Chain A
Amino acid sequence: MLSLYGTEIASRLLLGTAQYPSPAILTAAAKASGTEIVTVSLRRESAGGASGGRFWSLIRELGVRILPNTAGCHTVKEAVTTARMAREVFATDWIKLEVIGNHDTLQPDVFALVEAARILTDEGFAVFPYTTEDLVVAERLLEAGCKVLMPWCAPIGSATGPENIRALRSLRAHFPDTPLIVDAGLGRPSQAAEVMELGFDAVLLNTAVARAGDPARMAAAFAKAVEAGHNAFHAGLVEPRDTAVPSTPVIGQAVFS
């Protein structure tokens, strides 16, 4: 079981709730994925008000744990304020911390991220920081009190899959005991399997499911890929090599050619 801030989670697939054609399709996708954690954006859906209204009720009706996020925040102050609001609205200390540094790539501002993480962990939040694959930033986030890291593998919504496998491997190797969740950039189930085979603990998906032709079916496909990758990592993958290795002995066999 995956343990996130003391909570045992069986499903290693986290699902975002934005961009679905309808709440009904979101519900179907969440069920098909088997997810136990969904993320919700506060800032965008509140439109300046305190309430996302019916939509948030529909999210609550999914009956899974809610991980509010600070998507759309560009400064420490915005992110901290949004996190505090999320704590009240959803009655949870969990917060997926996003502080965007570049509007175009939605790349996290890692300096502001560390600062906001420190403030929020001091206030008792369980912070899930959306970060890059940078090793030193990861160290700083752990020092700031984060117990989970959510590195991207490619820009949000890009659906390109892991761009820097070497850095992801290095992150896994350096923090063997910290839950690592690949947050952004996955487009295909095979890519989710790929990062899970590296030993990552879970993946978070949104665009790849929400904008698929059939989101529920895609959610189910990802769930299988995530499980396959996870099992493959723990089963111990055979390393690739250049020469053929026959699976049955050849010595002593008759040679016909």
Chain B
Amino acid sequence: MRVLVKGAGVAGLTVAYELASRGAAVTVCEVRPEIGHNASWLAGGMLAPWCERESAERAVVTLGSGAADWWEAVLPGHVARTGTLVLAHARDAPELARFSARTENHRRLSVEDIANLEPDLAGRFRHGLLFAEEAHLDPRRAMEALARELNAKGIAFRFGDEQVSPSGFDRIIDCTGIASPDPDLRGVRGEMLILRTREIALTRPVRLLHPRHPIYIVPRADHHFMVGATMIETDNDGPVTARSLMELLNTAYALHPAFGEAEITEMGAALRPAYRDNFPRVSSCGATITVNGFHRHGFLLAPAMARRAADLVFNSDMESDNEIDRQRRSA
């Protein structure tokens, strides 16, 4: 079975891995000259199905709860299983109550609990939630490591190549995100920034709830922090706006004033590909299978969707998305 995977974002790489593991001869083509600089590159890398359930359907838990295990098995050492901390300022206490009511698998934290978990945040928040089973990874390191892993398995990468001929391949898997011609896809703009400071340390992603600008901060190596992300309904992927930058920085500053002294090492904006229900889909048309629409759940749902795509490739009698639709209906 010879398969061409188009796109080397998190969807393309995970699909390539699943296919190669089942014995397919996989070629990955990517229009960009190297790994990265796509929507996945700007992702938070949170493997947080229970938190995401706040605004996503139950399938985000049923399909996403195995993601940390998948990444850990494929890339040992990349996954930090330190949970997620959800906080709100006293004036936004109703937001915390709402978040708590809409999610599961968390426990309520006291002032002392928060101080024990994140000493640098001691005394700053009265209430919080810990989602202890959640995890996170650094998307950039993970994508580069996964590409190396695929190389080692003998998978061919063709970078900077827009015109890979489909002839000679039994199946084509389109994982091109917002660049896909699928008319059902829309862009949901996300803006993020990376800060660097030695004045504060966090050991887990922190979500700061706010009625208008809920923001998360994910600790990365070498005193870096990824701050994200806006959610704007537009197909404009232009530079980060001043307003969004203010919102992101305001929230970081509100979490801890030390972020006010941080260096801004990067700002980025990209379009999340999304279907109408904001849930990814594996769809089949002739010899082409499309894996797309990850919205804000690329690293979380890519493993489950990649398995699904591989099932389709090796069992062409299977009807695409039926199983997932059924799971979602019964959820």
A interface residues (Cβ-Cβ under 8 A, vs B): 21-25, 27, 44-49, 51-56, 58, 157, 159, 207, 211, 213
Contacts and interface: CB of A to CB of B under 8 A. Distances in A.
Nearest to B102: A213
Contacts of A213: 101-102
A47 B238 contact: yes
Contacts of A51: 234-236
B276 A47 contact: no
B64 interface: no
Given A24-B276, A211-B98, A54 B236 contact: no
A24 B56 CA distance: 12
Contact of B233 (A21, A27, A55, A211): A55
A53 B232 CA distance: 11
14 contacts: A21-B57, A22-B277, A22-B279, A23-B278, A24-B278, A45-B234, A48-B241, A49-B234, A49-B236, A52-B234, A53-B234, A55-B234, A157-B211, A159-B94
A53 B279 contact: no
Given A22-B278, A47-B234, A52-B233, 19 more contacts: A22-B276, A23-B276, A45-B234, A46-B236, A47-B238, A47-B241, A47-B244, A49-B238, A52-B235, A53-B187, A53-B235, A53-B236, A54-B185, A54-B187, A55-B186, A58-B186, A157-B212, A207-B211, A213-B102
A44 B234 CA distance: 9
Contacts of A211: 98
A51 B236 CA distance: 8
A47 B277 contact: no
Contacts of A24: 276-278
- Per DSSP, are chain B's interface residues mostly helix, strand or loop, or mixed? loop
B211 A58 contact: no
Interface string B167-184: 000000000000000000
B55 interface: yes
B220 interface: no
B102 A54 contact: no
Interface of B: 55-57, 94, 98, 101-102, 185-187, 189, 211-212, 232-236, 238, 241, 244, 274, 276-279
B22 to A, nearest CB: 32
A53 B187 CA distance: 8
A191 B234 CA distance: 34
A207 B102 CA distance: 16
A49 B278 CA distance: 23
Nearest to B233: A55
B211 A48 contact: no
A98 B98 CA distance: 28
Contacts of B277: 22-25
Give the 7 A-B residue pairs with the shortest CB-CB distance, closest first: A54-B186, A53-B235, A55-B233, A49-B236, A22-B278, A24-B277, A24-B276
B232 A48 contact: no
Contacts of B98: 211
A81 to B, nearest CB: 15
B230 to A, nearest CB: 9
Nearest to A44: B232
Of A24, A47, A52, chain B has the most CB atoms within 10 Å of the CB of A47
A48 B238 contact: yes
Contacts of B276: 22-24, 27, 58
A47 B236 contact: yes
Contacts of B238: 47-49
A55 B238 CA distance: 17
A50 to B, nearest CB: 9
Contacts of A58: 186, 276
A28 to B, nearest CB: 10
Nearest to B189: A47
Contacts of B185: 54
A86 to B, nearest CB: 15
A75 B101 CA distance: 38
Given A22-B277, A22-B279, A47 B232 contact: yes
Contacts of B189: 47
A46 B101 CA distance: 32
Contact of A46 (B55, B211, B234): B234
Contacts of B274: 22
B150 to A, nearest CB: 32
A176 to B, nearest CB: 35
A45 B277 CA distance: 18
Contact of A54 (B57, B101, B235): B235
A208 to B, nearest CB: 12
Contacts of B55: 21
Nearest to B57: A21
Contacts of B233: 45, 52-53, 55-56
